[in-house]
């Protein structure tokens, strides 16, 4: 498992805490200006015409605010919201139960929608398009399909893997919001808001340092903030910037936001494999991690930071990656770094 401190996926004990920090309106939602602007128009137009907003797909890596935005969509349009998730919908019947219970205008949030069963997906196509479904009763020759009218609803699907959604499902969303990792300045605003809500006073330099090390992800920023709050409580009277640095050092998060596993991967490529290329399974065996974890969590971050690259022959360390791993490269010598 990856280090829970920089895992963009929420731990089960974290959800209640996260709830308290969630922005409840588009105006309060920090960053993602493009998506905010797009949603604002879409929701306002639906309100003006007094109709249910189009179905919306929220796509992007974990921890960037998909659940938060779904709740905001409900709040901004004054509609109730019902929560479900792809893994909970394993049969068409599971979906029929959810859909038939919807009240008119309700927002149905389906998290991890790419993990829904195929049989349910087909039922969802008709539900999204015509607000009706066909329920099959009986088996074999006696089987019959009974049409059922549904209340008009807005489906808000969230996915970290939009490429895994079948095209017919993707096409039935009126709008897809692509969430991007946050710039450090936006994360600083997220942190400043969270610090205020948690009653932790942090100076701007400390907020900036935390933002820089939070991997562009509000969930990680809020989690690191909690660790810093603890550190400051225990070490009463310390400066906040020292607190940020000491707490993150204690929890193994380095200057660039890399944790123990990120560094192990980078160092294996740089030192054990001479900068690469090296295949994913060899890399996983070398650092003693699941290949899936490396591919889903570690690699995207290291690639985004320009520390490693993917080539058809395997993963390589970039000059910046080699430098971070302490390998002196020729261009590092030339730059005098
Ligand atoms: N733009 C934002 N402004 C302020 N806080 C945010 C923002 N986006 C996310 N957060 C905070 O980050 C945490 C994680 O957000 P959220 O649960 O919405 O992410 P998610 O994309 O749905 O993640 P997952 O895909 O793992 O469910 C929440 O505590 C939320 O308050």
Assign 146 to helix, strand or coil: strand
What is the reported pLDDT for 19? 77
Let me know whether 22 and 67 are in one domain.
yes
Show the domain range for 266: 260-335
Digit-coded pLDDT (tens) for 174-223: 999 999 999 999 999 999 999 999 999 899 999 999 999 999 999 999 99
What is the reported pLDDT for 13? 66
Digit-coded pLDDT (tens) for 7-39: 777 776 676 677 788 999 999 999 999 999 999
Nearest CA to ligand 1 atom 31: 22
Kindly give the interhelix angle for 240-250 and 218-234, rounded to the nearest 10 degrees. 110
Question: In the structure encoding, which two tokens stand for residue 308, read together?
Answer: 């490693």
Let me know whether 316 and 211 are in one domain.
no
Band of residue 336 on the pLDDT scale cut at 50, 70, 90: very low
Is 182 labelled a binding residue? yes
Position 31 in a domain = yes
The domain boundary, picked from 178, 199, 222, lies at 178
Nearest CA to ligand 1 atom 24: 62
Let me know whether 45 and 155 are in one domain.
yes
Is 326 labelled a binding residue? no
Let me know whether 194 and 265 are in one domain.
no
Q: Locate tokens 């797909």: which residue?
A: 57
CATH number where 269 lies? 1.10.10.10
Position 134 in a domain = yes
Query: How far is the C-alpha of 310 from the C-alpha of 123, rounded, in Å?
Result: 38
Classify burial at 307, counting beta carbons within 10 Å of its beta carbon; exposed 0-12, middle 13-18, buried 19 or more: buried
Let me know whether 49 and 122 are in one domain.
yes
Position 139 in a domain = yes
Query: pTM value?
Result: 0.88
Position 6 in a domain = no
Backbone φ, ψ for residue 104 (5° rounding): -55, 130
Let me know whether 21 and 133 are in one domain.
yes
Let me know whether 26 and 104 are in one domain.
yes
- Protein residues whose CB sits closer than 6 Å to any atom of ligand 1: 9-10, 18, 21-23, 29-31, 62-68, 111, 158, 160, 190, 218-219, 222
Give the chain's domain count: 3
Cα of 220 vs centre of ligand 1, distance in Å, is: 9
Query: How far is the C-alpha of 299 from the C-alpha of 314, rounded, in Å?
Result: 12
- 140, pLDDT greater than 90: no
CATH number where 49 lies? 3.40.50.300
Position 102 in a domain = yes
DSSP states along 171-239: HT-SEEEE--PPPHHHHHHHHHHHHHHTT----HHHHHHHHHTSTT-HHHHHHHHHHHHHHHHHTTT--
Asked if 301 contacts 5 with a C-beta cutoff of 8 angstroms, the reply is no
Let me know whether 231 and 135 are in one domain.
no
Question: In the structure encoding, which two tokens stand for residue 274, read together?
Answer: 């001479």
CA 57 vs. chain centroid, Å, equals 13
Query: How far is the C-alpha of 332 from the C-alpha of 330, rounded, in Å?
Result: 5
Position 5 in a domain = no
What is the reported pLDDT for 329? 64
Cα of 67 vs centre of ligand 1, distance in Å, is: 6
The domain boundary, picked from 178, 194, 229, lies at 178
Let me know whether 265 and 241 are in one domain.
no
DSSP category for residue 72: H
CATH number where 210 lies? 1.10.8.60
Asked if 240 contacts 203 with a C-beta cutoff of 8 angstroms, the reply is yes
- Going by their DSSP bridges, the two strands 314-317 and 107-111 should be labelled as unpaired
What is the reported pLDDT for 30? 94
Digit-coded pLDDT (tens) for 148-185: 999 999 999 999 988 889 999 999 999 999 999 999 99
Q: Between these two residues, 61 and 1, which has the higher pLDDT value? A: 61
Let me know whether 59 and 132 are in one domain.
yes
Assign 278 to helix, strand or coil: strand
Let me know whether 39 and 172 are in one domain.
yes
- Give the percent of the chain with pLDDT over 70: 94
Active site residues per annotation:
66-67, 111, 160, 219
What is the reported pLDDT for 18? 76
Query: How far is the C-alpha of 52 from the C-alpha of 132, rounded, in Å?
Result: 15
Assign 204 to helix, strand or coil: helix
Let me know whether 19 and 60 are in one domain.
yes
The domain boundary, picked from 228, 250, 272, lies at 250
Position 2 in a domain = no
User: Which among 162, 216, 218 is the best mutation to test ligand 1's pocket, defined by most ligand atoms within 8 Å of the CB?
Assistant: 218
Position 304 in a domain = yes
Pick from 234, 206, 213, 322: nearest CA to 273: 322
Query: How far is the C-alpha of 43 from the C-alpha of 97, rounded, in Å?
Result: 27
Average pLDDT of the residues of the chain: 92
Helices (H) and strands (E) in the chain, counts: 16, 9
What is the reported pLDDT for 157? 98
- The interface predicted TM-score (ipTM) is 0.96
């Amino acid at each position: 498992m990856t280090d829970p401190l920089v895992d963009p996926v929420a731990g089960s004990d974290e959800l209640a805490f996260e709830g308290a920090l969630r922005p409840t309106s588009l105006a309060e939602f920090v960053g993602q200006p493009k998506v905010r602007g797009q949603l604002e128009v879409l929701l306002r137009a639906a309100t003006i015409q007094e109709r249910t907003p189009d179905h919306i797909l929220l796509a992007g890596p974990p921890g960037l605010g998909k659940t938060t935005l779904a709740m905001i969509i409900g709040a901004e349009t004054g509609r109730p919201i019902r929560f479900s998730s792809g893994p909970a919908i394993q049969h068409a019947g599971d979906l029929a139960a959810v859909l038939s219970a919807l009240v008119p205008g309700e927002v149905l949030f389906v998290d991890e929608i790419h993990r829904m069963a195929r049989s349910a997906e087909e039922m969802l196509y008709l539900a999204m398009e015509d607000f009706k479904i066909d329920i099959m009763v009986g088996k074999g020759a006696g089987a019959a399909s009974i049409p059922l009218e549904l209340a008009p609803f807005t489906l808000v699907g969230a996915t970290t893997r939009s490429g895994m959604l079948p095209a017919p499902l993707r096409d039935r969303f009126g709008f897809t919001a692509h969430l991007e990792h946050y710039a450090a300045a936006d994360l600083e605003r997220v942190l400043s808001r969270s610090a205020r809500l948690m009653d932790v006073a942090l100076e701007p330099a400390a907020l900036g340092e935390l933002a820089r090390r939070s991997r562009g992800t509000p969930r990680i920023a809020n989690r690191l903030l909690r660790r810093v709050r603890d550190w400051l409580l225990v070490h009463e009277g310390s400066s906040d910037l020292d607190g940020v640095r000491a707490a993150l050092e204690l929890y193994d998060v380095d200057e660039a936001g890399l944790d123990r596993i990120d560094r192990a991967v980078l160092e294996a490529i740089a030192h054990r494999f001479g900068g690469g290329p090296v295949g994913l399974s060899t890399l996983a065996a070398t650092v003693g991690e699941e290949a899936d974890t490396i591919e889903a969590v570690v690699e995207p971050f290291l690639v985004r930071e320009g520390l490693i690259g993917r080539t058809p022959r395997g993963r390589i360390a970039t000059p910046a990656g080699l430098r971070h791993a302490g390998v002196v490269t020729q261009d590092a010598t030339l730059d005098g770094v």
